[in-house]
């Protein structure tokens, strides 16, 4: 089952395993410049507010009700990243593993393929948590992604419109598969804890009701981020017990008209953020192997490239930045690591 708790999608699989719990939060962030350069990871600037579509049935497109799921507000040309968390299980000394499929406009963000309700092994069309702590965009090349950036559906910029030539779905689609219970218990058996010595230290803008609400996600600037190869066996995943959710993206300008609540403020630009010398991030996992990028996704035009072809200026602020203050994050050290901007 999926619940919406504190603006996060919380997936639980009580039929599979009582500890199988996974949450996804949608992080606001800077839009990195779409200038042909490769950038490090931008910070998290807080979570997008999230609502059940069913609670606003009379104010949203009927198709959203048909899809079910939830909705978030995004400004045009605003960026986002997904943060994954499956919670540390002390008794097993690990996090419960999950396979996660992510699509935008029903185009797979890892392979560029069209949506299917099953996992595909070759090419791998999913991410694996906890190995993959986050996803910032489309996997365009081994070790590189293009950032998820919101553009109005129908404007031609979204990955969906570029690949299918249609503007049918928009939003984001998420599907989560837990590891099979027996595989989890075998791979990560409960560990007998020894009593420890007593002296051990454990400090370890005004709403515009006439605007169309539907936003799609389009490929923005390039960023260094690896999508990791599945370290488990493909048959370890419990494909009988998946859960999925459609995440609709409403233009922030109409969010208030729909929900009577203000959307978050316009985020900082990368230029403003970088001017203050605030941190960017790089993530390393020495033991993980990255998947090859998708040629199909690599052929997509970035928003700036598409804008030039159309004679438009879709990104009002796109100044290159130096991003010199880089904090290195390593896997397996999560407790001390926070990918957040502090200002």
Partner 1 sequence: MENYFGGFIREKREKLRVDNRKYSLRQVASRIGIEPSYLSKIERGEQKHLSEEKIVALANDLHEDPDVLLALSGKVSKDIQEVIRKRPKLFAKLIRDLKDLPDQAVLKIVREVRDGKW
Among 39, 98, 148, 246, binds partner 1 (CB under 8 A): 246
Q: Is residue 203 at the binding interface for partner 1, with CB under 8 A as the rule? A: no
Nearest to partner 1 of 122, 193 (CB atom): 193
Among the candidate windows 68-76, 121-129, 218-226, 281-289, which touches partner 1 by CB under 8 A? 68-76
Question: Interface with partner 1 includes 173 (CB under 8 A)?
Answer: yes
Choosing from 115, 183, 269, 331, the residue that interacts with partner 1 (CB under 8 A) is 115
Determine if 244 is a binding residue for partner 1 (CB under 8 A).
yes
For residue 328, give the H/E element and its range: strand 326-330
Question: Which residue is associated with the tokens 């040629």?
Answer: 295
Task: Specify the stretch interacting with partner 1 by CB under 8 A; choose among 21-29, 63-71, 145-153, 282-290.
Answer: 63-71
Contact (CB, 8 A) for 178 and 236: no
| Of 14 and 231, CB closest to partner 1 | 14
Interface with partner 1, residue 123, by CB under 8 A: no
| Length of the chain as a residue count | 343
**CA distances from residue 97 to 79, 139, 192, 258 in whole angstroms, order as listed:** 27, 21, 21, 36
Of 62-70, 127-135, 152-160, 307-315, the segment contacting partner 1 by CB under 8 A is 62-70
Q: Are strands 2-5 and 8-12 parallel, antiparallel or unpaired?
A: antiparallel
Distance CA 118, CA 244 (A): 11
Strand partners, 241: none
DSSP, collapsed to helix, strand or coil, labels residue 306 as helix
Q: Which of 176, 205, 225, 252 is nearest to 8 (CA)?
A: 176
* 324 dihedral zone (left: phi>0; alpha: psi -120 to 50; beta): alpha
Candidate residues 58, 66, 286, 336; the one interacting with partner 1 per rule CB under 8 A: 66
Give the DSSP H or E segment for 6. Answer: none
Of 86, 104, 132, 245, the one binding partner 1 (CB under 8 A) is: 245
Taking CB under 8 A as the rule, does residue 106 contact partner 1? yes
Q: Which of 165, 202, 210, 336 binds partner 1 (CB under 8 A)?
A: 202
| DSSP line for 192-227 | PPPPPPTT---------TTS--BEEEEEEEEEE-PP
In whole angstroms, the minimum distance from the beta carbon of 153 to partner 1 comes to 15
Taking residues 20 to 59 in sequence order and writing x for each that binds partner 1 by CB under 8 A, - otherwise, the string is: --------------------------------x-x-----
CB of 65 to partner 1, least distance (A): 7
Tell me which residue of 123, 265, 162 sits closest to 205, measured CA to CA.
265
Q: Give the number of other Cβ atoms within 10 Å of residue 111's Cβ.
A: 24
Number of residues that bind partner 1 (CB under 8 A): 28
Burial class of residue 13 in the structure, from the number of CB atoms within 10 Å of its CB (0-12 exposed, 13-18 middle, 19+ buried)? buried
Identify the residue among 122, 195, 277, 311 touching partner 1 (CB under 8 A).
195
Which of residues 196, 240, 286, 316 is near partner 1 by CB under 8 A? 196
Residue 335 contacts partner 1 per CB under 8 A: no
- Residues in contact with partner 1 by CB under 8 A are 1-4, 9, 14-15, 52, 54, 65-70, 106, 115, 169, 173, 193, 195-196, 198, 202, 243-246
């Amino acid at each position: 089952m999926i619940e919406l708790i504190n603006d996060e999608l919380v997936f639980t699989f009580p039929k599979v395993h009582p500890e199988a719990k996974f949450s996804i939060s949608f992080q606001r962030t800077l839009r990195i410049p779409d200038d042909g350069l490769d950038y490090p990871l931008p910070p998290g600037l807080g979570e997008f507010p999230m609502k059940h579509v069913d609670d606003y049935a009379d104010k949203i497109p009927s198709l959203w009700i048909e899809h079910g799921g939830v909705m978030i507000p995004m400004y045009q040309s605003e960026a986002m990243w997904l943060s994954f968390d499956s919670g540390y299980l002390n008794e097993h000394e690990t996090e419960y593993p999950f396979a996660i499929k992510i699509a935008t406009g029903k185009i797979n963000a890892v392979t560029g393929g069209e949506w299917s309700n099953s996992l595909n092994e070759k090419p791998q069309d999913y991410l694996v948590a906890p190995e993959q702590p986050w996803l910032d965009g489309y996997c365009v090349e081994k070790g590189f992604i293009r950032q998820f950036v919101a553009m109005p559906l129908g404007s031609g910029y979204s990955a969906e419109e570029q690949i299918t030539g249609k503007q049918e779905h928009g939003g984001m689609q998420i599907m989560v598969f837990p590891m099979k219970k027996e595989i989890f218990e075998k791979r990560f058996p409960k560990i007998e804890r020894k009593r420890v010595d007593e002296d051990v230290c454990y400090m370890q803008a005004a709403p515009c009701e006439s605007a169309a609400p539907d936003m799609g996600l389009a490929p923005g600037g390039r960023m260094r981020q690896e999508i990791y190869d599945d370290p488990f066996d493909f048959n370890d995943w419990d494909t009988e017990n998946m859960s999925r959710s459609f995440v609709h993206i409403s233009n922030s300008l109409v969010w208030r008209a729909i929900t009577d609540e203000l959307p978050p403020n316009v985020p900082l630009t990368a230029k403003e953020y970088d001017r203050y010398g605030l941190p960017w991030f790089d993530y390393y996992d020495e033991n993980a192997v990255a998947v090859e990028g998708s040629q199909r996704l690599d052929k997509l035009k970035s928003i700036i490239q598409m804008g030039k072809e159309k004679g438009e200026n879709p990104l009002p602020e796109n100044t290159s930045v130096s991003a010199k203050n880089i904090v290195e994050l390593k896997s397996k050290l999560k407790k001390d690591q926070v990918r957040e901007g502090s200002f």
